[in-house]
Amino acid sequence: MKGSAHIALLLTMTMTMTLTVLSVFPDRARAEAPHVTDEKTSAGEWQLVWQDEFDKEVINANNWTLEVNCAGGGNNEKQCYTDNEENAYVADGKLIIVALPARKGAEKPYTSARLNSRGKADFRYGRIEIRAKLPFGQGSWPALWMMPTEEVYGSWPKSGEIDIMEAVNLKTRDKQGKQESRIHGTLHYGGDWPDNVYSGQAYALPDEQNPADDFHTYSIEWQQGEIRWYVDNHLYAAQRQSVFSDDHQGQAVELLHRGWFTESVKTASNDMAAAPFDQKFYVILNLAVGGNWPENTNQKGIDEQAFALGQHMQIDFVRVYQCAVDPVTGKGCNTSSSEHVLIEGRAK
């Protein structure tokens, strides 16, 4: 999801908070590490370094900022984001984000909420887990994603965007009666519009499950040069930096794997190929209404009846783990081998 501008252990996973954040949730500080699903892979130890279990009475302002604007993500969305409690609140140990019809005469026809952790919880490399139950209906667009804390390589998307999970129009039906149930994991990168590009993968849950019917855990494992996407610990996609063969002088001579890129790095080399996904990113949780993507797929437009009483995205927790094997690069803790789900990027 495009945005207008998208703890500290061994200097690489950097947070603006101190390690005392681990004492914020003393009853949750022993949250289990992710389950290793592939015993053939030598997975190292994931260490919990940050979490929000939403077990307080209100949204934790030390963790999240509620954005207030009507610009959305620049995709012709139809909501204004507010800091009103009717659009975002904590109840029963969950964060609830609600998209509602706006009052008559409002700037846009809907209101909703978008929370971000920028400057409060920023990360480079690790495993990010978000357990959520998604909204549904034509025009709904929930997103769990990440943007760069500092735009080291320039404005969007040159500094990158990591979409942990997006979905549009869940539970709508096509002409054949098939129900929309896909989620999407995506990277955005490249150059300034119109030279921006993206690559990713859609995934449908097994046994005709729908993400709007129950909670599922959406995760990425992010290490230097590779990002992997999971649902309920099932690996469904992976992307890597470009890989080059070098001549005897260390100059790239052949592209061996086409991965991501940023237009800001002009010279092809393995040393710089991890850019732009080699910097700190922060977490964003939001529910958009309408926009170019949902309004032009499935049944088209926005179903007003679906939003008449509000659409809800419920988030049970957000947890961030660091790879203890190598915190500097994040390597050595991959839960599964990724070769069989590797996606080619769009590097030039």
Which residues are known catalytic residues?
A: 161, 166
SS3 (DSSP) at 64: coil
Q: How far apart are CA 243 and CA 65, in angstroms?
A: 38
Residues pairing with 260 in the sheet = 241
Closest-CA residue to 109 (of 136, 72, 145): 72
Do strands 226-231 and 216-223 pair parallel, antiparallel, or not at all (unpaired)? antiparallel
Query: Which residues 6+ apart lie within 8 Å of 308 measured at CB?
Result: 101
Alpha carbons within 13 A on the beta-carbon side of 186: 19
Residue entry with tokens 């590797």: 342
Q: How far apart are CA 192 and CA 154, in angstroms?
A: 9
Task: Provide long-range contacts, Cβ within 8 A and 24+ apart, for 199-206.
Answer: 199/239, 199/260, 199/343, 199/344, 199/345, 199/346, 200/163, 200/237, 200/239, 200/343, 201/229, 201/236, 201/237, 201/341, 201/343, 203/229, 203/231, 203/236, 203/237, 205/181, 205/231
Alpha carbons within 13 A on the beta-carbon side of 307: 26
